[in-house]
A and B are shown apart, each in its own frame.
Chain A
Amino acid sequence: DAKTTQPNSMESNEEEPVHLPCNHSTISGTDYIHWYRQLPSQGPEYVIHGLTSNVNNRMASLAIAEDRKSSTLILHRATLRDAAVYYCILNTNAGKSTFGDGTTLTVKP
């Protein structure tokens, strides 16, 4: 299975930017990079995805390295409601998307 590596936990201060890293050194040329987040007692929520170019949406930005072996999810101004587990996964052309244990983001007021 296509594998990603993320730090177990990160902390941020409220209203500051947060950069959540993800390594995917075994990514193949057609794999999409997806990010989801899971708030306590809820199902995962889609955040953003991309293939090669950086992507922006209302929730976040996704910066993809030129060699595609790593990516960074950027929350421009963290709020307390952004405290969640963030998952970086690869979506392969066989339809596989394997979740790891993600990064637990703590936001301090």
Chain B
Amino acid sequence: EAGVAQSPRYKIIEKRQSVAFWCNPISGHATLYWYQQILGQGPKLLIQFQNNGVVDDSQLPKDRFSAERLKGVDSTLKIQPAKLEDSAVYLCASSLGIFGYEQYFGPGTRLTVT
């Protein structure tokens, strides 16, 4: 079966610009996650969806980050305006459910903010 797809794979922007990332989860997976991974650290959960509803967005910087999952399938994560400290890899993952199921990760989008 096809894995989690993400695009773009790489993005370079200047600070204060906006950027959007796209994720297509594995077919049939109800739960979708967005993580931020700064170099040398483990992934940090930004937001978690169950179908098209938000389960956890407690660590999402809501003044600049937004995410949506229309129709409970694809998802987009947006940053506006970007800051230098947003430079990181943004990982999307999906799972069949929120409890007891393994997560499958996409390849990530490497964002560089200059």
Contacts and interface: CB of A to CB of B under 8 A. Distances in A.
A15 interface: no
A95 B55 contact: yes
B22 to A, nearest CB: 15
Given A96-B56, A99-B43, A102-B42, A44 B102 contact: no
Name, among A44, A45, A92, A100, the residue most crowded by chain B CB atoms within 10 Å (CB to CB). A44
Contact of B103 (A96, A97, A101, A102): A97
B31 interface: yes
Contacts, number: 55
Contacts of B4: 43
A61 to B, nearest CB: 16
B13 interface: no
Interface residues of B, number: 25
Interface string A85-109: 1010001111111111110000000
Interface in A65-102: 85, 87, 91-102
Contact of B105 (A32, A45, A98, A101): A45
16 contacts: A36-B103, A42-B107, A43-B4, A44-B91, A44-B93, A46-B102, A46-B103, A49-B100, A91-B99, A91-B100, A95-B56, A98-B45, A99-B42, A99-B43, A100-B42, A101-B40
